[in-house]
Chain A
């Protein structure tokens, strides 16, 4: 067997090199699969509808596409208005059923892809900022692929183990002296170095390939030839490269970074001959500049770090506004190709010098012409230092009645919302005593960024949704220094025990130890949420765009196609709402099926213990009562009404004729 085979067996099999490589690949894959969220949720949620637009828009911006999109925007707005108008006419018997159905069918063809339009229009607005180098395409795959802006820790740890073991294992059992007496000591060292660097290169390439395959399969990676500026994170870049080329460049740079890190570790291990000192020096040379220095400086250091991060080499300049003076502060300036090549060249020279020195140290007197120079260790260490320095648990609920248009109430408590102060309070129905929500005396006392956004009552529990915006430090130039967190707190009205049942940070920009990074916009919708309800399986958040269902265990989000213009009612299992055709509809949250109630055309409704009170548009807006299954319809009032509300005890109607409020107890 050759020296190479022996070394292969020693490093990869006996010292478990292959095992560490496979473990790193496995951890990276599992982590990616477990944590990946689409960068643009709307594009993914309404994929089919978005792709219908993409078929017509795909590619570069043109005047025709822009004109078509603007026309489409107008057509959708008009169609929505026409639909409302048609419904009014039909339910007031101004047009016949045939006319209505014929015209509504035409409108529905216009509105067939309205959800996807929003995502397409947002992309159009982004492209309009610079029409020359931005294209229409499904960005989720590429944006996800380029989203890894932070250090890949599994890869970093694997490189640490692989490279440190090579020589340190020999130093620890003092076999280095013996190896040096062998005639093939230089060849042996060469094999070790080459094998380690190749293994690290393959590992990094493997991680890149896995990411490529993952995003290709999950979202698709179409139109690789489009400019890289089509992805928002590279929007400001002036480099004229395609998406695929950008991925290849980033992969090559990361592979070089990993090889450079491995060479540095090999060099350090030969220099200091100790496991711990080698690893700590390797970690310190990467981690200290990463956390301690700004990105601006990191990408100028001839260290492995900028290459391991890599994305900054392709990004454009970015700046933020000074919070006091309003002046722009440049937080990152674009690295030109010349600067990248210069840094790459300098790093490659450092890398080559380190490998040469490692081989030289493993050369015995038969192969060496010169004796090693004393003190070179100290000099090398000083040089290295100089380079481094330059550089959910929840209770079971009984599920009461919820109506989004009115505040919830139970036998003992009712929730009161003060329009003036925009605060919620809890009224004890027996004593009339008012208690501020949230109960904590500290809530909102020192910050205007704390507020309650919605309340849901399910006796004996009250759930309230709080929003808290915090600023880490009042510093300039740190764009992720503010964070908005939305929580749902469960309050037991019998024991006054509070428990947080759900909590999420809504912003996609995050910061950890000064390292800024972004995550997908999955929880962004919580910022615009104005109502919620829940059962044992899911939480339902109401926004203007619809209802988002969030599982209580694995917290997967799902957008329900429920219009939220009118009242939304919930009885613990079924969501009641008025659909686009003004029909009262029940959506079963277990079977995920919507069932419109035939002939129950309503302009407003409310859910009560007895059933659904609704304003019947087919009978001059009189109030009717029907069962929760939509069966049995009973006329309650002969007076046309504008709205009907239920506060837990009584029904309130506002009459159309004189806006008078009429109450009747159940």
Chain B
């Protein structure tokens, strides 16, 4: 069986066109990531002595690591005079002021504000805010307990467990992680590449009418279908993992740092209400796993659609249209309070920050289940149903029929 899977994998996916698309899409992805860095980071002004890039990394060495009262005092001692000097907007706008770091008072204030004061303030205040949430959750749980609302009590208990004791003890550069965690472009590339790879799995043999020939082989029929499904699964997982990995490498290379990966993921403001207590690096791994699950389910759906056609055109266009529908509906309800619409759409697993970034529950048999867990399990179940459907809908060969008759 393993040999059959290997043959199928080599036959279907180790083709020049797929490898060429892999290279082209990977380059396009890296190009886009570098574009994100150039467009959105303020640290792209070169390596000059007074550039933000140089000054930021000099100051960063001073403030990185554990947040201590001394560091906060030192930072405020540098920042407060700048705020006072620029508050009435009458300070000099000269760009060659020798008494400033960057040459301009406003620029100094902005540099400290954006990269040091705001992140440190957020980190410092986060533990109080999460403590407040935990306390409210505990009070709510007690109230629901009195009222006999069991589900709501369980939900509040789960929120308490998630938020109690949350804190961001250290300060680190988080800009790279912020843009990496909010990056979506590679999802489109993954889907397009996977669609191209998957579409030929059954169609290529039907196009050349080799499917009839395959049936006469002892390993033909459903055994080949299973091998094709497993080979396609391997291809989908490898493609998804490759782009998740490439994104991280691309962002690290563009921003020239891996700083921030050890921070808890709620250190990024967009992820303040994240439903997992993980570091950013652990989150990246979880996100890659969820992306794999989402890609696999969508891939199996494509495979099922494609097995009924004699050429690749219509199934490709149908699957592409299906993909657009999933993307548009997924994006439309990304921030919706109708949680089930997110949970049931496998595209949410690809842009999984819409599931992981918020603490949202769905009611499964009276138990509150986090949306990302529900989406994961539902997608896996749907995937197995699709695999079973493909297996049983594929033609059975005569060897098995004869064997069964005997």
Chain B residues with Cβ below 8 Å from A514 are: 184-185
Mark interface residues in A382-406 (1 if CB within 8 Å of B CB, else 0).
0001001100000000000000000
Chain B residues with Cβ below 8 Å from A503 are: 336-338
A500 near B338: Cβ-Cβ < 8 Å: yes
* Stretch of A84-92, A106-114, A298-306, A474-482 that contacts chain B: A474-482
Chain B, range 322-356, C-beta contacts under 8 Å to A: 324, 327-328, 331, 335-338
Cα separation A568 to B129 with both chains bound (whole Å) = 38
A496 near B338: Cβ-Cβ < 8 Å: no
Chain B residues with Cβ below 8 Å from A168 are: 311, 313
A446 near B185: Cβ-Cβ < 8 Å: no
Our pick among A279, A288, A483 for the contact of B313 (Cβ within 8 Å) is A279
| B159 part of interface (Cβ distance < 8 Å) | yes
Known: A292-B28, A292-B32. A473 touches B316 (CB 8 A): no
Cα separation A385 to B20 with both chains bound (whole Å) = 10
Mark interface residues in A77-102 (1 if CB within 8 Å of B CB, else 0).
00000000000000000000000000
- B interface, size bucket: 35 or more
Q: Which residue of B lies closest to A473 (CB)?
A: B182
CB distance from B143 to the nearest CB of A (A): 6
A513 near B184: Cβ-Cβ < 8 Å: yes
Chain A residues with Cβ below 8 Å from B185 are: 291-292, 513-514
Mark interface residues in A148-170 (1 if CB within 8 Å of B CB, else 0).
00000100010011001100110
A283 near B192: Cβ-Cβ < 8 Å: yes
| B149 part of interface (Cβ distance < 8 Å) | yes
Known: A275-B311, A441-B133. A474 touches B42 (CB 8 A): no
Known: A283-B320, A439-B140, A473-B182. A277 touches B17 (CB 8 A): yes
CB distance from B313 to the nearest CB of A (A): 4
CB distance from B106 to the nearest CB of A (A): 8
Which of A164, A280, A477 has the most B CB atoms < 10 Å from its CB? A280
Q: Which residue of A lies closest to B126 (CB)?
A: A446
Q: Which residue of A lies closest to B183 (CB)?
A: A473
Chain A residues with Cβ below 8 Å from B156 are: 441
Q: Which residue of A lies closest to B144 (CB)?
A: A496
Our pick among A279, A385, A470 for the contact of B312 (Cβ within 8 Å) is A279
A389 near B192: Cβ-Cβ < 8 Å: no
B313 near A287: Cβ-Cβ < 8 Å: no
Which of A153, A441, A496 has the most B CB atoms < 10 Å from its CB? A441
Cα separation A439 to B39 with both chains bound (whole Å) = 40
A280 near B192: Cβ-Cβ < 8 Å: yes
* Stretch of B210-218, B268-276, B389-397 that contacts chain A: B268-276
Chain A, range 429-447, C-beta contacts under 8 Å to B: 433, 435-436, 439, 441-442, 445-447
Mark interface residues in B51-88 (1 if CB within 8 Å of A CB, else 0).
00000000000000000000000000000000000000
A276 near B312: Cβ-Cβ < 8 Å: yes
Mark interface residues in B1-36 (1 if CB within 8 Å of A CB, else 0).
000000000000000010001001101100110010
Which of A291, A324, A474, A477 has the most B CB atoms < 10 Å from its CB? A474
| A487 part of interface (Cβ distance < 8 Å) | yes
A275 near B312: Cβ-Cβ < 8 Å: yes
Q: Which residue of B lies closest to A470 (CB)?
A: B335
Known: A272-B17, A389-B27, A389-B28. A165 touches B178 (CB 8 A): no
| B152 part of interface (Cβ distance < 8 Å) | yes
Our pick among A172, A279, A441, A447 for the contact of B137 (Cβ within 8 Å) is A441
Chain A residues with Cβ below 8 Å from B179 are: 473, 475
Chain B residues with Cβ below 8 Å from A489 are: 337
Q: What is the interface of chain B mostly: helix, strand, loop, or mixed?
A: helix
Known: A496-B144, A503-B337. A279 touches B316 (CB 8 A): yes
CB distance from A277 to the nearest CB of B (A): 5
CB distance from A371 to the nearest CB of B (A): 25
| B290 part of interface (Cβ distance < 8 Å) | no
| B195 part of interface (Cβ distance < 8 Å) | yes
Cα separation A165 to B129 with both chains bound (whole Å) = 60
- A interface, size bucket: 35 or more
| A47 part of interface (Cβ distance < 8 Å) | no
Known: A280-B196, A503-B337. A275 touches B316 (CB 8 A): yes
Chain A residues with Cβ below 8 Å from B297 are: none
| B176 part of interface (Cβ distance < 8 Å) | no
A495 near B140: Cβ-Cβ < 8 Å: no
Chain A residues with Cβ below 8 Å from B359 are: 442
B32 near A164: Cβ-Cβ < 8 Å: no
Cα separation A325 to B105 with both chains bound (whole Å) = 12
Mark interface residues in B272-284 (1 if CB within 8 Å of A CB, else 0).
1100000000000
Chain A residues with Cβ below 8 Å from B285 are: none
Our pick among A172, A277, A445, A471 for the contact of B132 (Cβ within 8 Å) is A445
| B221 part of interface (Cβ distance < 8 Å) | no
Chain A residues with Cβ below 8 Å from B184 are: 513-514
A496 near B152: Cβ-Cβ < 8 Å: yes
| B199 part of interface (Cβ distance < 8 Å) | yes
A441 near B140: Cβ-Cβ < 8 Å: yes
| B110 part of interface (Cβ distance < 8 Å) | yes
| A485 part of interface (Cβ distance < 8 Å) | yes
Our pick among B151, B311, B331 for the contact of A512 (Cβ within 8 Å) is B331
| A663 part of interface (Cβ distance < 8 Å) | no
| B97 part of interface (Cβ distance < 8 Å) | no
| A75 part of interface (Cβ distance < 8 Å) | no
B136 near A441: Cβ-Cβ < 8 Å: yes
B28 near A274: Cβ-Cβ < 8 Å: no
Chain A, range 315-342, C-beta contacts under 8 Å to B: 324-325
B40 near A160: Cβ-Cβ < 8 Å: no
A487 near B337: Cβ-Cβ < 8 Å: yes
Cα separation A485 to B17 with both chains bound (whole Å) = 44
| A68 part of interface (Cβ distance < 8 Å) | no
| A636 part of interface (Cβ distance < 8 Å) | no
| B99 part of interface (Cβ distance < 8 Å) | no
Our pick among A165, A272, A280, A513 for the contact of B327 (Cβ within 8 Å) is A513
Chain B residues with Cβ below 8 Å from A153 are: 321, 324
Our pick among B140, B189, B196, B336 for the contact of A288 (Cβ within 8 Å) is B189
Cα separation A640 to B337 with both chains bound (whole Å) = 48
Cα separation A288 to B28 with both chains bound (whole Å) = 8
A500 near B320: Cβ-Cβ < 8 Å: no
Cα separation A433 to B143 with both chains bound (whole Å) = 10
| B238 part of interface (Cβ distance < 8 Å) | no
| A284 part of interface (Cβ distance < 8 Å) | yes
Cα separation A485 to B25 with both chains bound (whole Å) = 35
A476 near B149: Cβ-Cβ < 8 Å: no
Mark interface residues in A491-515 (1 if CB within 8 Å of B CB, else 0).
0000111001001000000001110
Cα separation A600 to B219 with both chains bound (whole Å) = 90
Cα separation A489 to B339 with both chains bound (whole Å) = 13
| A528 part of interface (Cβ distance < 8 Å) | no
| A52 part of interface (Cβ distance < 8 Å) | no
A172 near B140: Cβ-Cβ < 8 Å: no
Cα separation A433 to B196 with both chains bound (whole Å) = 61
Cα separation A477 to B41 with both chains bound (whole Å) = 11
Cα separation A473 to B268 with both chains bound (whole Å) = 10
CB distance from A141 to the nearest CB of B (A): 26
Chain B residues with Cβ below 8 Å from A293 are: 35
| A472 part of interface (Cβ distance < 8 Å) | yes
CB distance from B278 to the nearest CB of A (A): 17
A275 near B313: Cβ-Cβ < 8 Å: yes
Measured CB to CB, the residues of B under 8 A from A are 17, 21, 24-25, 27-28, 31-32, 35, 39-40, 42, 106-107, 110, 113-114, 129-130, 132-134, 136-137, 140, 143-144, 147, 149, 151-152, 156, 159, 163, 178-179, 182, 184-185, 188-189, 192, 195-196, 199-200, 203, 207, 269-270, 272-273, 311-314, 316-317, 320-321, 324, 327-328, 331, 335-338, 359
Q: A433-B143, A446-B269, A514-B184 are in contact. List 6 more A-B contacts (CB 8 A).
A: A275-B207, A276-B316, A279-B317, A279-B320, A288-B189, A497-B149
Query: Can you list 11 A-B pairs, Cβ within 8 angstroms, ordered by A?
Result: A157-B317, A169-B311, A272-B17, A279-B316, A292-B32, A435-B140, A436-B136, A446-B269, A446-B272, A474-B269, A513-B188
Closest 8 CB pairs of A and B: A441-B136, A446-B272, A275-B312, A276-B312, A441-B137, A496-B149, A280-B196, A500-B337
